[in-house]
Amino acid sequence: MEKTKKVPELQTTLQLLESERQPFIIGIRHHSPACAYMVERILEEYHPQHILLELPVFFRKWLPFLNDKDIQAPVALAGGEENRLFSFYPLADFSPELVAIRWALRNNVAIEPCDCFVERSPVENDSYVIRNDYVLHHLLDQFSCKDFSSLWDSVVETDSGDPWKIRRNALRLGWALRVDSFLDESIDRSDLIRETFMRQQLQKYPQQQKVVVIVGAFHAAALLRQPLLWQETTGKICEDTTTSLIPYSFDLLDSRSGYPAGIRDPLWRQGVWETLRNSGCIEDTMAKVLTQICQAIRDEDHCAGTPDAIEILRMAKDLSSLRSLKTIGRGEFLEAIETCLTQGEIYGRGQIVARALQKALVGEQRGFLHKRVPRSGLYANIEQNLQILKLPSLPQLEKQPKQLVLDPLRSSLDYKRHVFFERLHYVGIQLVEKQTTQQISVSSPLTSKWSIAWNPVVEAQIHTYAINGANITQVCEGVLRQRQQDANNEVYCLEFACHCILPQSARKILCKLYETPQKLHVNHQVLIILEKIRSGLIPGFEQSDLGEKTYEKYVQHFYERLLASLEGIGSKPEDLAVMKEVVQYQIRNSYESLYLEEILQRFSRCESYMIRGISHVALVLLQQQTVADFAHCLCSLLREAQYIEMAKKLCDFLQGGIYLADELFALQHDWLSDFFDEIEVMDDAQFLQRLPFLRQGFLPLSRTSRHEVLSWLKERYDEDLNIVHSTRNTPQWVEQDLYARQRLCELGFEMPTHHEVTTRNKKHIKKTTREQQISPQDRCSLIFGYAPRHSGFASQVACCLDELYGSQSGSPTESGFPTIREWKEELQKFFQQQICDEVLAQSAMQGRIAAISEINPQQVTASIDLLEQVLSLKGAASEKQLQHLRKLANRIIDELTQELSQKIRPAFTGLSTPKPTMRNTGKIHLKKTLNANLNNAYYDAKNRLHIVPNKIYFQNKVKKSLGWRIVLVVDISGSMERSVIHSAITASILARLPALSVNFVAFNTEVIDFSERVQDPLDLLFHVSIGGGTLIAKGLNYARNLIEKPAQTIVVLISDFAEGGAVSHLLHEVDALKNTGCHLLGLAAIDNSGQPCYETAIAEQVVSAGMPVAALTPLELSRWIAKKVSK
Amino acid sequence: MGKQTQRQAIETLYKKELDFLKVWDKGPRPKGWQITPRAAVKFILGGEKLSLKKGTKAPAKIPKNLQITRKFVGNTSLVERCVVTLAGERGLILVGEPGTAKSMLSELLAAAISNNSALTVQGTAGTIEEHFRYSWNYSLLLAEGYSIKALTPSVVLQGMRQGAVVRIEEITRCLPEVQDALISILSERRLVVPEIEDSTGNSLIEYAQQGFNVIATANLRDKGVSEMSAALKRRFNFENVHPIADQQQEADLIRSQATTYLANEQLTFELDDVLLDALVTCFRDLRSGVTEEGWSVERPTAIMSTAEAVSIACSLSRKQSYFSSAKDIVRDLPGYIKGVVVKDEPKDEDKILRYWDGPVLERTKRNERIWEQLYELRDELS
């Protein structure tokens, strides 16, 4: 095309457009109150014989129903085919089209639609860029507007109350748009085809008649007798289709609801329309709206009142006049509200103001159809679908429900049925019910099973959902959009979109998920869904539906996110599952990720030994570590396991490793030989000390792997006795070596002293003096739970342990112990007291509650683990046992408290008293100053005493050492057990300090205040029952009400930050708390291995909302509090 | 060389423009204002060449046409709202991340409205009530007792007496009880001095003159800030100042600012566009958490402000000037960026490494020398 295009001049064109009478053209914009007002006034003045509307002709039959009596706006005209809604016209009172229709019906003037539907070219015009050389660009500059909408607002909506002037301005902007799109590429083909069609319709009317055509301002120039920037174009048009009239509502009409053809703030526009129509004053309308907004904000316990409203009105007025507008525009109004009400807090007040605006500007007004108006849409569509899919009709279904098993991947009919059913199912129309099939394998089943039944409830449901569209696809999309509004619902929505084959929505949801950081499990679930799509488990939803290129991108992105949130992982089963998934994923897809390795390296040194185990094994699998490294690590753990804490860690380590890769343990024999070398050289006492933990550690090993290991071990001992023998010789060799070394030293060689070597070897020497009663083979059998070959000592031990862990060899070695006491006595023969307690507690955990009563409260070694186990039994214990439990718990708590308080107390000593200072604090310390300057006093001539001060003292701010309040807000949802114990004990210690008062607020989805029990942690812990969901916002809200003196209040939130409600609420609560001025601290939960575990994505948002989050031990927490208090 | 002021006050620097604007718009102005709101907006945003209306009587010194310089890069409506707020009953608070030119905007506003940007209180943890109210000359006080002579007015009180805009920098760094001293000043627009009695035996009252108002700036995302009380908040209108949205604009701003700073030292700006562009890109990526290409980046805790970018640009340029043998200033860029990133949180070291391993590595595939160079310098980071 030639470079310079000739464009007719603006002024002449405008004149032409205005003066044209064949036809009389009114250029409008949909849903514009000013245009609606203008249309009504001009029609009144011009009084035409015919009105033509820019509305597809297939809506013709609905026009008579659009009068005042049969409908109540908003309503919507919908037209479309089976799976697609292509023509959708919401109509509100302030829509110029509806105003014209109503006027025509009132005045008996013929009104006709004159448009058709043309498929648009597939390029999505979302990113409409206004280039520098555009006419619009000049206009935007002139009115200093950002986009077309605000330009329209300032040029058309707020310029004038004169209808003719409004018309002129609207035509002007329409023309500018047309010129720009002409200059850009030439006008869209579909627009030209539609304009051709409209011109043809116009031809039908004789020249002498007064015809008004109401079209979008953009099209105006094409309808002139000598059209401008237009050329005749033909193409495929659609003149007929299925149509329906449905009631609509304001909250759907708002463009932010995601519905097509929406407009911002419909209720506000309704107000403007009524003001214009009744020639009222816009400021009155605004004042009314403002009172509503302030009221809504006050309802949420935030202050906003008349002074604010006055300031907003003044500001909106001044802004409008600064921008040379005739009346106050919506944009200025909103800007003024933001400036005066949100106080710069986007999370806190911003959210509340936004909610208030939603109420006052968007509204919830619903449309209504009178009974006379024909029913349409969904009901008919469902009937039709049943017929097409060869299913029984509705009356038949009412008599006889039907069961169906579908195989969507094989038959195309079944596929269509499946999609139809899935859609009904997800929308919530209970015409069909999905039968969950028994899952045999891990993967999802390929067939789906349904039962279909009809009853009046279903009919009611259909009518409820009809508001969302005219057929099941539209309804599906609509319902999906509504459900998307709920927070934390994205994964469900994604599933919804995929299963209902709504690729566009699925793409949108994915994009949304893509843009904002998500919780660990959300990322994980999204990856699972993506994986399902890839493997074709969602019938009909192809990988390419997400865009061929982007699928990989999404997978990689969510995978990266998942990795990023691994940081806060704990040893909960779900977390471990994620970890496993990640590693397997990495191996399967061999993505380049240095990051995972970095994390694993870090985890392999972390607190939780279960995670350590997993990380080590993962590193081996990813070939970042050799099996020998792993074996080395394991062996050193085994050596250290002489203390019970370390033995427990060894157990965790083994369990973690086995959880990740069972087969590695069975098939890699290298590490096994090292490991068992180590076990063989121990003496019986050392071995027995470790045995229960080893047994437990290997418990998750699968049966096949176990056999594999055992057979390897048998081979080792039967055929290669030499090695066993030689191992037994080692100590002697070592002794000789040491002797040689000593000789060398004596001869004057400098030998590096190696403490570790000597001490270890001394053990070996000692060992030679004592016989090993349990043979190496039997040791293996004991570890893996098989019957030992030699009876006697070993089999007695095996018998003891089988009581707890069950025997692997099928039949028990001997009959079990008749009573717990006997078992205990037997245990005590072999194991130390501490290990006995541990085993008994384990047994109690597994259901033998009586076992706990055998633990002697006086002798027990206090540990958080034991306390945790004791506490978890309280629900199952009988009254008598409970008494024992209490005794036991009390003793443990006492011991722990004493230990901790010795550490904590010093942090709180030494709060100083105020002293006069030379630093200028503003308040002079008169007494001290006078005293200090008395030597400079003199009498003047009038005998008046004067003082020349050269040292001035000021009062120091008084230290507020008393009256601090600590509010511990503790999450008691599942997986928080250990943190609750820690916080209860810490709370009780803090409560006994004179300077502090402590509140203990526990929450899951409910809030309970335990502040009165805080002095007695035992009582407190016995009353808390762990479990349930998490609503942090609720807990914080309660805490906010406890605050009396914000400056002296510390709110400590202890949680895993897996917020179950909307994150925005949580952030708002955090912000509100911060705004009270109190001190905030968020503590990450500590899982039972001491590893902080929390949702990093949410925690980060909480941090940016103003609450620092840290993982602190009780001692560190106390130091932090002490620092705050003594500041 | 004689002595020179390091940095001149805005109203001195742009005296010519202010004088011109005073004549340019003769429309009604709020009481106590030096120029009209419209002229104030023009003064700050600049842009077009303005000419006096025909027939305007103007002093001889004032030119007929004048190009107003653009002094603040940002949203037009933001500036309009600020000006309108100051014309009303409430004070103005500019909030936003550090380095978004809040203080500059407040300086410009004060210069435009009162022709005086010097009335400033710097808020710190050590700021006391007396900095907002009044203090005493203690020697005089002890010698002669309470009297007007012994009263030392604060900057705020000076502003009230003059009817000028007072700026309070970093108001949230003051303790809450100190901040609250402003409440009565802002709502009643007067200050009672109970220590001094006037002739009728009542306390002395200092009334604010027309034109007095307060512009405060505050960082909400910074460490060590104290929250404002709800009562005080209601006396202010809040404006959020955001980082510059457009990459090119930001680059231009950095260049012009750095050039100005360096010109004071008789140096020229030595960075080429490619390097500057890379610097701006890194800053924007780390600030927003997502690159232009749509790759996600982990945001560091530290604030990647434009001001920091300017200081890096200056340092690089200075190095080029003083050590001309140091040919390759690109070599220093990663180190400087890391310096900004780990400022608040040493742990963020990982994040910058990951940024290098992700987006920077990815960009090397585009065959742009600068990114290849930067990736080669990865070792500088660890």
Same domain, B171 and B313: no
Kindly report, residue by residue over A219-228, the tens digit of the pLDDT.
888 888 888 8
Between A246-255, A665-674, B366-375, the lowest mean confidence (pLDDT) is in A665-674
Give alpha helix (H) positions in A5-59. Answer: 10-19, 33-46
Return the sign of the alpha-carbon dihedral for residues B68, B70, B71, B77.
positive
- Name chain B contacts of A594, Cβ cutoff 8 Å: 357
Average of pLDDT values for A409-414?
82
Amino acid A922: pLDDT: 72
Q: How far is CA B135 from CA A715, A725, A924, B149, B216, in A?
A: 94, 93, 11, 11, 21
Q: How far apart (Å, rounded) are the C-alpha atoms in residues A398 and A831? A: 70
Same domain, B147 and B259: no
Q: Which residue of A has its CA nearest to B227?
A: A1077
Same domain, B233 and B198: yes
- Name chain B contacts of A595, Cβ cutoff 8 Å: 354, 357
Q: How far apart (Å, rounded) are the C-alpha atoms in residues A72 and A348? A: 37
Same domain, B260 and B369: yes
Q: How far apart (Å, rounded) are the C-alpha atoms in residues A992 and B141? A: 48
- Best mutation site among A303, A322, A957, A1100 for testing chain B: the one with the most B CBs within 10 Å? A322
Same domain, B116 and B235: yes
Q: Which residue of B has its CA nearest to A1097?
A: B298
Instruction: Tell if the CB–CB gap between B234 and A315 is shorter than 8 Å.
Output: no
Residue A911 touches chain B, beta carbons under 8 Å: no
Residue A561 touches chain B, beta carbons under 8 Å: yes
Q: How far apart (Å, rounded) are the C-alpha atoms in residues B163 and B208? A: 6
| pLDDT class of B182 with cuts at 50, 70, 90 | very high
Q: How far apart (Å, rounded) are the C-alpha atoms in residues A920 and B128? A: 9
| pLDDT class of A726 with cuts at 50, 70, 90 | very low
Return the sign of the alpha-carbon dihedral for residues A480, A481, A487, A488.
positive
Residues 270-299 of chain B with CB under 8 A from chain A are 290, 296, 298
Q: Give the domain-ending residue among B192, B220, B240.
A: B240
Residue B237 touches chain A, beta carbons under 8 Å: yes
Contacts of A88 (CB under 8 A, 6+ apart): A76, A77, A78, A79, A80, A260, A261
Q: Is residue B224 part of a domain?
A: yes
- Name chain A contacts of B38, Cβ cutoff 8 Å: 322
Same domain, B251 and B364: yes
Q: Is residue B254 part of a domain?
A: yes
Is residue A376 scored above 60 in pLDDT?
no
8 A C-beta contact, residue A570 and residue A608: yes
Q: Is residue B362 part of a domain?
A: yes
Amino acid B185: pLDDT: 92
Same domain, B199 and B255: no
Instruction: Tell if the CB–CB gap between B234 and A594 is shorter than 8 Å.
Output: no
More confident residue, A577 or B341: B341
Q: Which residue of A has its CA nearest to B222?
A: A1106
Is residue A963 scored above 70 in pLDDT?
no
Q: Is residue B80 part of a domain?
A: yes
* Region at A892 (left for phi over 0; alpha for psi -120 to 50; beta for the rest): alpha
How many contacts, defined by CB atoms under 8 Å, are there between A and B?
A: 95
Residues 574-613 of chain A with CB under 8 A from chain B are 594-595, 598
Q: Give me the number of domains chain B comprises.
A: 2
- Name chain A contacts of B88, Cβ cutoff 8 Å: 311, 314-315, 318
- Name chain B contacts of A952, Cβ cutoff 8 Å: 138
- Best mutation site among A324, A340, A554, A960 for testing chain B: the one with the most B CBs within 10 Å? A340
Highest mean pLDDT among A285-289, A819-823, A953-957, A1062-1066: A285-289
DSSP state of A1061: S
Q: Is residue B357 part of a domain?
A: yes
Q: Is residue B15 part of a domain?
A: no
Q: How far apart (Å, rounded) are the C-alpha atoms in residues B279 and B283? A: 6
SS (H, E, C) A310-379: HHHHHHHHHHHHHCCCCCCCHHHHHHHHHHHHCCCCCCCHHHHHHHHHHHHHHCCCECEECCCCCCCCHH
Q: How far apart (Å, rounded) are the C-alpha atoms in residues B95 and A350? A: 14
8 A C-beta contact, residue B103 and residue B65: no
Same domain, B175 and B124: yes
8 A C-beta contact, residue B31 and residue B210: yes
| pLDDT class of B109 with cuts at 50, 70, 90 | very high
> How do strand A937-939 and strand A448-452 relate by DSSP bridges?
unpaired
Exposure class string for B334-373: b at 16+ Cβ within 10 A, else e: bebbbebbbeeeeebeebbbbbbbbbbbebbeeeeebbbb
Q: What is the CATH number of the domain that holds B167?
A: 3.40.50.300
Residue A311 touches chain B, beta carbons under 8 Å: yes
Question: How close A1029 gets to chain B, by Cα (Å)?
Answer: 29
Amino acid A813: pLDDT: 43
Kindly report, residue by residue over A1022-1072, the tens digit of the pLDDT.
777 777 778 888 888 888 888 877 777 888 888 888 887 777 788 888 888
Average pLDDT taken over every residue of chain B = 86
Residue A298 touches chain B, beta carbons under 8 Å: no
Average of pLDDT values for A813-840?
70
Amino acid B120: pLDDT: 94
Q: Is residue B4 part of a domain?
A: no
Residue A557 touches chain B, beta carbons under 8 Å: yes
8 A C-beta contact, residue A727 and residue A681: yes
Q: Give the domain-ending residue among B212, B240, B268.
A: B240
Q: State the residue range of the domain holding B291.
A: 247-381
- Name chain B contacts of A345, Cβ cutoff 8 Å: 220, 238
Is residue A725 scored above 50 in pLDDT?
no
Between A699-703, A853-857, A1030-1034, the lowest mean confidence (pLDDT) is in A853-857
Highest mean pLDDT among A463-472, A866-875, B89-98, B112-121: B112-121
Same domain, B169 and B234: yes
Q: How far apart (Å, rounded) are the C-alpha atoms in residues A625 and A640? A: 22
Residues 814-843 of chain A with CB under 8 A from chain B are none
Residues 113-142 of chain B with CB under 8 A from chain A are 128-130, 135-136, 138-139, 142
Between A40-44, A443-447, A764-768, the lowest mean confidence (pLDDT) is in A764-768
- ∠ CA(B375), CA(A1100), CA(B102), 5° rounding? 80
Instruction: Tell if the CB–CB gap between A952 and B290 is shorter than 8 Å.
Output: no
Same domain, B215 and B282: no
- Best mutation site among B25, B82, B84 for testing chain A: the one with the most A CBs within 10 Å? B84
Instruction: Tell if the CB–CB gap between B88 and A515 is shorter than 8 Å.
Output: no
Same domain, B138 and B202: yes
Residue A1071 touches chain B, beta carbons under 8 Å: no
Is residue A855 scored above 80 in pLDDT?
no
B88, B143, B221 member nearest A315 (Cβ): B88
Residue A1104 touches chain B, beta carbons under 8 Å: yes
Average of pLDDT values for A443-449?
68
Question: How close A918 gets to chain B, by Cα (Å)?
Answer: 13
SS (H, E, C) chain B: CCCCCCCCCHHHHCHHHHHHHHHHCCCCCCCCCCCCHHHHHHHHHCCCEEECCCCCCCCCCCCCEEECCCCCCCCHHHHHHHHHHHCCCCEEEEECCCCCCHHHHHHHHHHHHHCCCCCEEECCCCCCHHHCCEEECHHHHHHHCCCHHHEEECHHHHHHHHCCEEEEECHHHCCHHHHCHHHHHHHHCEEEEEEEECCCCCEEEEECCCCCEEEEEECCCCCCCCCCCHHHHCCEEEEECCCCCCHHHHHHHHHHHHHHHHHHCCCCCCCCHHHHHHHHHHHHHHHHCECCCCCECCCCCCCCCHHHHHHHHHHHHHHHHHCCCCCCHHHHHHHHHHHHHCCCCHHHHHHHHHHHHHHHHHHHCCCCHHHHHHHHHHHHHC
Return the sign of the alpha-carbon dihedral for residues A677, A680, A686, A689.
positive
Phi, psi torsion values for A1024, nearest 5 degrees? -80, 135
Kindly report, residue by residue over A925-949, the tens digit of the pLDDT.
888 888 888 888 888 888 888 888 8
Q: Is residue B23 part of a domain?
A: no
Same domain, B232 and B91: yes
More confident residue, B217 or A985: B217
Q: Give the domain-ending residue among B202, B225, B240.
A: B240
Amino acid A583: pLDDT: 79
Average of pLDDT values for A732-742?
73
8 A C-beta contact, residue B212 and residue B166: yes
- Name chain B contacts of A1074, Cβ cutoff 8 Å: 227
Q: Which residue of A has its CA nearest to B131?
A: A922
Kindly report, residue by residue over A23-75, the tens digit of the pLDDT.
888 988 888 888 999 999 999 998 888 899 988 888 888 888 888 777 887 88
